[in-house]
Amino acid sequence: MTSEEEGAERFKDRFSSRGEDTLGDLADFLLDNPWLNQALQLALGARERASQAGAQAMRNVGVPTAADVDRIARRVRALSERLESVEDKLDALGHEMAELRRLLRTPDNPRG
């Protein structure tokens, strides 16, 4: 590496280090600033209220919200799982009944 390249590398390292320090100082200042914290809290509160108002407006005109659709989808999935379980039990019961009928029709059965 030439001396010019080494000088450029040292400058880049020093500049990068100072930039990281400056960013760290800025982040600390912003996190410790009570006005900024208050502004963030107000903004987040306003966002939540706007979201709730939007959801209520959608419900008022009969349009489901994403949360409503998700809740219905979960209920449909749960119902589908329960129905599948009932179908499996009915299949097993049908097989048992077929086996009982077959046993009742055998020649050594006094009732058959």
pLDDT digits (tens, 9 = 90+) for 7-55: 667 766 766 667 777 888 888 888 888 888 898 899 999 999 999 999 8
Is there a domain that residue 31 lies in? Answer: no
Please check whether residue 110 lies inside any domain of the structure. yes
- Do 94 and 101 touch, CB atoms closer than 8 A? no
Query: Has residue 84 been placed in a domain?
Result: yes
Terminal Cα-to-Cα distance of the chain (whole angstroms): 101
* Contacts of 59 by beta carbon, 8 Å cutoff, 6+ apart: 65, 68
What span, in angstroms and rounded, lies between the C-alpha atoms of 20 and 12? 12
pLDDT tens figures, 50-98: 999 998 998 899 999 888 999 999 999 999 999 999 999 999 999 999 9
- For residue 94, the enclosing domain spans 64-112
| 58 burial via Cβ count (<10 Å: 0-12, 13-18, 19+) | middle
Q: Specify the pTM.
A: 0.47
- How many domains in the chain? 1
| 10 found inside a domain | no
pLDDT of the residue at 86: 97
Within a domain: residue 13? Answer: no
Residue 85: inside a domain: yes
